[in-house]
Homo-oligomer: A and B are copies of this chain.
Amino acid sequence: MTSTDHRGFETSQALLTVGQVARAAGVTANAVRFYERYGVVSGYRSSGNARRFTVDTICRIKLALAAQRVGITLKESADILAGIPPLSRDLDQWVSAGEQLVLIGQARIAQLQATVNELATLDFLQPDTPEDRPRH
C-alpha cells in the first residue's frame, strides 16, 4: 500500500523531505540546507516549494561528514560528489569517492608526520631558516 506524508507525497516514492534526510544522515535539517547551499546535496522542490531529495542524498551527506574528519571542507566534498550522478546505481563511483578520501587522508597524515618530525627538533625556534637566507 502507498501511504502519503503530510505534504501529500507518497512515502513509498524515492523522494525525501529535509527532515527525513536529516534524521537518516544524523544531522539537523538546518545543516542539510547548509549543505545544499554549498552544493554537497541538491534536490527538487515540491509544488509547495519544499525540498525533495533522492535517497542517495543521505550517502552524500555521510560522505561529506566522513570527509570533514580528514580535514576536507564542504566545498571540496561537493567537488568530489559532483562526479557522482544522482541515483547512481553504480557502487564503483562511491568506492572511488571513498578512495579519494583515503588518499587525501593519507596525504594529510604524511604532512602531519613531517611537521611533527620537524617539531621534535625544535628547529622552529631558530632565528631563520637557511632557505630564506641566500648564501652568496
Contact = CB atoms under 8 A, between A and B. Distances in A.
A65 interface: yes
Q: How large is the interface on A (under 10, 10 to 19, 20 to 34, 35 or more residues)?
A: 20 to 34
A115 B59 contact: no
Interface in A111-130: 112-113, 115-116, 118-120, 122, 124-125, 127
11 contacts: A62-B124, A62-B125, A63-B124, A65-B124, A66-B124, A95-B122, A101-B116, A102-B120, A105-B112, A105-B116, A109-B112
Interface of A: 24, 59, 62-63, 65-66, 69-70, 94-95, 98, 101-102, 105-106, 108-109, 112-113, 115-116, 118-120, 122, 124-125, 127
